[in-house]
Structure 1
Amino acid sequence: MEETIEAAILEAPLFRGGLGMVYGPVSGGISNENWRVTATDGSGDWFVKVPGTGTEMFIDRIAAFDAARKAAAAGLGPRVYEDLAHKGIEINDFLPDRRPSTHSDFADPAKRRAAIAAYRRMHGMPALGLTKTVFDMIDEHAAQVAALGAPHYRDEAWVMFNADLARQALMASGLDLVPSFNDPMPGNFMIGPDGSVMLIDYEYASMNDRCYDLGIWFGEMFFPPEQELELIEAYFGEVRRDIVARVTVHKALADVKWALWSMVQLKVSRLDFDFHKYGVWKLMRFRQITGHPDWPAHLRNL
């Protein structure tokens, strides 16, 4: 892996042929190789993302750069450098005054509100070039699982049947497409000393339903129902039955998407990560949501 970052440092004009540059790995990613490159004279500090093996199967790097540039222009994301964009290698300013969040950070109501403010800013950005809904993601990964001969979950037919019920109900109600982040792992929320939140890593960003962004974040953070309602009100200014239903159904569909993604990763990724366990965990929550007595009502209320 070091050969790749060293080649990038030598090629990118920003790094001046590697003169006076030092680098080290950045932990936390589960798809790509992430590095920090620093100029020893204090003239620069950068984050470099080298695309992981097989990520071209589900990440459109041109679309990712488009989203990252628009987020930077909106003050939501760090500056983007174009030096190696033609190779899909993303270079951003490192954010030394910020730290990646943890799940426990969002036990603080102020940090939850700061994240909602970040989502509202994201959803108000100019339209992105890529439209990719949760249904597009699920279909893409299902086809990849079949093509790769990846493992199937034991009750996959039941899972996909319930996902299709949700698809029919959501499509009948119509989708509210906005620029969406689509990837709320805690490390993508960068918390500043003032408590503000910036977002990093826009490789999954697309035009998608705004309630997908909220639903997948709620699921990722394991918010209890009362906090979900608080955040829905903070975002929309009110709590309505149809909004709660849209967020809940999208939360369930997000777990299907990421469970299928994990099976693809089992076949293509070089990273040391238990993708099978990750996918099983996602489907446990999908079963919890769709097995709840309120699930049929959510589908009707969309």
Structure 2
Amino acid sequence: MRKSKIFLFLTLILLFGFSQEALAYTQEIFKATPYYIHPVTGVIEDPGNNPGIGQGMTENVVHPQALVETTDDGRIFLSVRYNLANYIKNETFAVQKRGDASFYSVPAQVTASTETTKDYRIEIPSKDVIVRGSFFVGPMGRDVIFYYDIANPTPGNTDFKTLSGGSTSSSSRAPIQNQNQASQAQILNQTSAAISENTAGPTNLPSAGQIIPAAQPGKKVEQKVVNSKFSAGDLGYKHGLLTKDDPQIKKLYYSNQKDKKKGVKKKAPLGPITKAFIYAGIGLLTLLAFSGILVTVGLYIYYKSLERKTYSRMEGLYEKD
């Protein structure tokens, strides 16, 4: 009996130790991949509806590395970096597990910033997450909407600000889904407080520590699709900005250059009105030429007639003499 108690006690200790190790605070660097088109559904929400330009824009904005921190109570925080931060404002963030139908709006905290970059920390429901981002672009004068996900984790960190502790109090836990359990205000306050509690040390960057509230705290984000709902795999090619090295551009550009060198000029076909004017001109010229010939022949005949009459008169005068 005593041995059984000892065995049970040791088993509980081992299980407790494994659970503590499994939920230990971790840091991982993920590859962040941006998309103008939703990577699963293939929909576009951006009003511009231009994948060629939009994909290049998202790749220029979203930094290719992101930090994922897992706390010892199982919560997951994602830190991402936006480039061209001096041109954007009014950022919003929404998250969904890959395969889910809806996005849920979440608050974010600015953890670091420079003249051209800004880091944000948000809470995510899973590492298999899709983030829906939006912001206002000053030079464009409108909001843009795009997506990104994370993959290929590597233990450690680069230069992202991290959570000061490794834990968050369970009382401040803010569920990302099943939002009917709390009011919108409670969700915003709880999640914002949870992020603030785990901010790294003070920084001299002016916007660091700024809380960006959720656009629609705890609610599903209304998605306004501007294209048909098709799978991204059905596109048949990867969207991106066309450059001078792309085969499509080379084909168009160099074929035009060859045409110029050969002196090939493609003439457009003549229209009916143009043809009518041409034929009328030709007919008028023909008529004028024919009239000229008739006048010339008539003058010649008239001249010969006068000449004969003159000779006849002269002969008559000589005969009288």
Larger radius of gyration: 2
Q: Name the structure where helix makes up a greater proportion of residues.
A: 1
TM-score (norm 1): 0.26
Q: Name the structure where strand makes up a greater proportion of residues.
A: 2
